[in-house]
Chain A
Amino acid sequence: MLLEINDLKVTYGGAIALNGVSLNIERGEAVGLVGSNGAGKTSLFKAISGIVPAEGSITFDNKDLLALKAHEVPSLGLAHVPEGRRLFPRLSIEDNLLLGGSSTHVVDQSDFDRVYKLFPKLLERKTQLAGTLSGGEQQMAAIGRALMSRPEILMLDEPSLGIAPVLVEGIYKAIAQLRDEGQTILLAEQNVMECLEVCNRTYVLQTGQVVTSGPSDELAENDEIRKAFLGI
């Protein structure tokens, strides 16, 4: 097991965000996480990345993540692409990518090649400042930056948020391609179909708890997901 989460609890000043979530990911798997606003997707990501304190256990590659500090997590091979992307707006795409890899290893041309092959658009615009990109292009750059660290696991938080439908399609093609290359992926989404199609397995989160999980194609067939989102 590459990532194993057991009975995870996260609270913010008394407000419960996660209430006993368990989840695991095998190497090479693409795992989805769907749930409406406030279900706890982002909190789970933040807990894995060590940005918020949590109770329970998170084991990554046999290491106890909760015992580590936030800045120690990326070098283990977890790359988190946060909601809203958070690029360095005044740096070029190329420099943003470079920064993504340089904290973990010496970046070489093959790292850039992998990203540019995945998103040819980034190659065309590599000297452009990140802040001047469209939302979809920024998302590509953010995913690219995360890939530069050669992550064991790529964590994507709502990559379709605020992006035009045409570009969403492009981003999901790239995610599928990464999956096919054997990249381990944890994907949080509100757009349920996109998530079910790209992920092998999916967990459904509702008010801080996993209400159901299973192979994505099976989940697509039953009504659980709709219930989780809309209550009835």
Chain B
Amino acid sequence: MNLLRVEGITKYFGGLAANKDITFEVEEGELLGVIGPNGAGKTTLFEQISGFKKPSEGRVILDGKDITAQRPDKICSAGLARTFQIVKTFPELTVLENVMIGSFHRESSSRAARKYAGEVLERVRFSHKADALGKELTLAGRKRVEVARAVATRPRILLLDEAMAGLNKQESAEAVEVVRDLRKEVTVVMIEHVMEILMPLSDRIVVLVEGQKLLEGTPEEIASNPQVLAAYLGERFAARNK
């Protein structure tokens, strides 16, 4: 059975549809990539899945339970955690404390929360920064903390919103390694602009264009699809490459 099912999600802002009738499923253990040009509605979709925005229409089903438009903390309890495209690290807390906020979700004592947060930092290879304050980190560091924090809530499915954008080659290579490790234990859905990273990492890809799902398929299918070529490189380029 699928772990997450997004069913006919539609979101209007005023009269404008940011998402139109988007349906897809995520299997347990899978890594699903979500791509699309700017303004395709990727982040809006994540906001609705994670409870930050209420869909105008449609449903979000997590492990058979309807979690549509529930409060974000309830959705986190149901087993879905996310990171933010515009990073929201807690600036005044240390890296370890940032992650503890996540681990407190399943641990009520500070001692246990601190211990588990330490383990998670180990897993995402960021222990050496445990005592740094959130505001002292580089962008790559902040993104890593966001991932660690989300993992510390022990989710069954992890939504990553551009966890690699804006990083240099070495930083994003490290981040890729972290995601490769994590996906062994948790289902991942990730939005990413950096195609050279997403394509080799993903099992399947969903392409959004202008708020709609254009298609889904394996990375190879997507990369040779004329509609995708048209959306990314222009109609005429796609026509010529047929």
Which positions in A face B, CB cutoff 8 Å? 12-17, 19, 36-38, 165, 189-194, 206-207, 225-226, 229-232
Cα of A127 to Cα of B114 in the assembled complex, Å: 69
Residues from chain A with Cβ under 8 Å of B228 in the complex: 230
Kindly state the separation between the CA atoms of A191 and B232 in the bound complex, as whole angstroms.
8
- A14–B236 CB distance below 8 A: no
With an 8 Å Cβ cutoff, the count of chain B residues facing the other chain is 33
CB distance A15 to B235 under 8 Å?
Answer: no
Q: Is B222 an interface residue (CB 8 A)?
A: yes
Question: Is B15 close to A, CB under 8 A?
Answer: no
Instruction: Answer whether A36 and B168 are a contact pair too, CB < 8 Å, given A190-B233, A225-B233, A226-B229.
Output: no
Chain B residues whose C-beta falls within 8 Å of the C-beta of A16 in the assembled complex: 139, 166-168
Minimum CB distance partner of B198 in chain A: A231
Judging by beta carbons under 8 Å apart, are A14 and B139 in contact? yes
B125 at the interface (CB under 8 A from A): no
Report B229 CB to chain A, min CB distance, Å: 7
- Identify whether the interface residues of B are mostly helix, strand, loop, or mixed: helix
Structural contact, B235 and A37, CB atoms closer than 8 A: no
Contact A191 B38, CB 8 Å, known A230-B228, A231-B223: no
Could you tell me which B residues sit within 8 Å of A by CB distance?
37-38, 138-140, 142, 165-169, 193-200, 219-220, 222-223, 228-229, 232-237, 240-241
Contacts of B142 in A (CB 8 A): 14
Question: Chain A residues with Cβ under 8 A from B167's Cβ?
Answer: 15-16
Prevailing SS type, chain A contact patch: mixed
Tell me the number of A-to-B contacts counted with CB atoms below 8 Å: 86
Expressed in whole angstroms, the minimum distance between the Cβ of B33 and any Cβ of chain A is 10
Q: Which of A15, A17, A194, A230 has the most CB of B within 10 A?
A: A230
Query: Is B233 a contact partner of A229 (Cβ separation < 8 A)?
Result: yes
Closest residue on chain B to residue A208 by CB atoms = B168
* Residue pair A19, B169 in contact (C-beta under 8 Å): yes
Inter-chain contacts of A225 with B (CB < 8 A): 233, 237
Inter-chain contact A193/B200, CB cutoff 8 Å: no
List of B residues within 8 angstroms of A38 by Cβ: 38, 165, 193-194
The one of B37, B166, B194, B198 that contacts A15, using a Cβ cutoff of 8 Å:
B166
> How far is B165's CA from A61's CA once the two chains are assembled, in angstroms?
34
Given A226-B229, A232-B220, A232-B223, also A193-B237 (CB < 8 A): yes
- In the A-B complex, the 7 residue pairs with the closest CB atoms: A15-B166, A231-B195, A191-B234, A14-B139, A231-B199, A193-B236, A231-B196
A37 touches B229 (CB 8 A): no
B241 contacts across to A, CB distance below 8 A: 226
8 Å CB contact of A192 from B194, B219, B222, B234: B234
Please judge, given known A-B contacts A207-B196, A226-B229, A232-B220, whether A193 and B234 are in contact too, CB under 8 Å.
yes
How many Å lie between the Cα of A37 and that of B209 in the bound state? 13
The CA-CA distance from A225 to B238 in the complex, in Å, is 12
Q: How distant is A7 from chain B, measured CB to nearest CB, in Å?
A: 14
Set of chain B residues within 8 Å of A230, measured between Cβ atoms: 195, 199, 222-223, 228-229, 232
